[in-house]
Chain A
């Protein structure tokens, strides 16, 4: 069996006294596509955001490519992470947000080029060529020079995906990528994600689209109360859930999605 690309051990996150994640152990193998399900407030987005350190975990460890991240905190407290290390981790772990978060003062192509230019120091012509290729992959060649304000929600999210892809991430995190979209625009974004799945990319996807999760994911994780409640193949978790809370969650969602 291959070594995991990403591994968390006992990952916890709390805000004040409120514990959102209560010890997550998760291994992601290269090529795996993991769908993360759970009710709102279950901690699924927080889990994702701890993996590229948008949130700093309160305790527990994260390994990326076999290397333990951060360093021991003083007096055995929470691990501390240097800004330098985090920027490097984030170059290797791409993220796509629910609200797209495109840079509104830059055109679509400039959004995609931005990481290449500023973070990787790629020269403009090469960055442009690469960005154009990514825009072509998400089917937006003709919108390259548009500002985000002129794009539909679906187009914005596709630009955001291209922006993440341009950095050559080893792992892609999708945080409810279609939740902010009008229903008729969901399909085009899911289509792009599906094509990435067919390329064999490693990805973690927080979603409410159960049907999509069933068809695209290699593994499904159900999160409840900040813990992995149930985990398995799509068939196991979505068709044959063993635990009561998973069943209840699916029963609530099935009528809409499957």
Chain B
């Protein structure tokens, strides 16, 4: 029978905590760049101009269809050779996950935007708004509200995907866990605790997200006519 011993994990709790902070840093950075970039991609794809719509569509489909680990390797190992810059693991991770999540966010934005009734566009145009004004003042605010559940889900997916950065030696939670496991010869305890940490953090986020959705659903300014 295996004798569990969690002491080595506890002794290295500070390393795990640092790893968690780094995980959140990558996730936050990717969100900060990915959401605006995703909006830009969605608007380009919906623009009706081929010169904008086509490249945007390609970026979206390519980054949604290829495995994120391949993307990460490309940005970490290949891109530096191509443009001759020093690429840190964090930069590669931030770049990969910003673009990758932007591709997914773009589809969320697009879905939200096209879900708004034609009448809203017409009412905005009927009082003399230009298409950009209609988008900014009338369509997007309503669309964003409808997209929030999908946004939350995507953000949680993103956080799970950031574990891939461990493979390019960025010291995220998973990387730290691997280091500690090798150092202490206690992989069972370390990886179990690590899985537990991810579970708790992610569950916490989903609970907050669900609460937030419920609040939106009952508030008077819901998008119901």
Contacts and interface: CB of A to CB of B under 8 A. Distances in A.
Nearest to A54: B122
Interface stretch (A11-19, A29-37, A90-98, A236-244): A90-98
Interface string B67-95: 00000000000000000000000000000
Interface size class of B (residues with CB under 8 A): 20 to 34
Most A Cβ at <10 Å: residue of B127, B130, B137, B222: B127
A159 B222 CA distance: 18
A118 B221 contact: no
Interface string B195-223: 00000000000000000000000001111
A91 B128 contact: yes
Contact of B138 (A86, A103, A164): A103
A257 B58 CA distance: 57
A101 B142 contact: no
A91 B122 contact: no
Contacts of B225: 100, 102, 104, 148-149
A79 to B, nearest CB: 18
A205 B211 CA distance: 47
Contacts of A52: 126
Contact of B129 (A87, A99, A149): A87
Interface in B91-140: 117, 119-120, 122-131, 133, 137-138
A115 B141 contact: no
Contacts of B141: 105
A146 B125 CA distance: 23
B145 interface: yes
Contacts of A91: 127-128
Interface of B: 117, 119-120, 122-131, 133, 137-138, 141-142, 145, 220-225
Interface of A: 52, 54, 83-84, 86-88, 90-91, 94-95, 97, 99-105, 114-115, 118-120, 146-150, 160, 163-164, 167
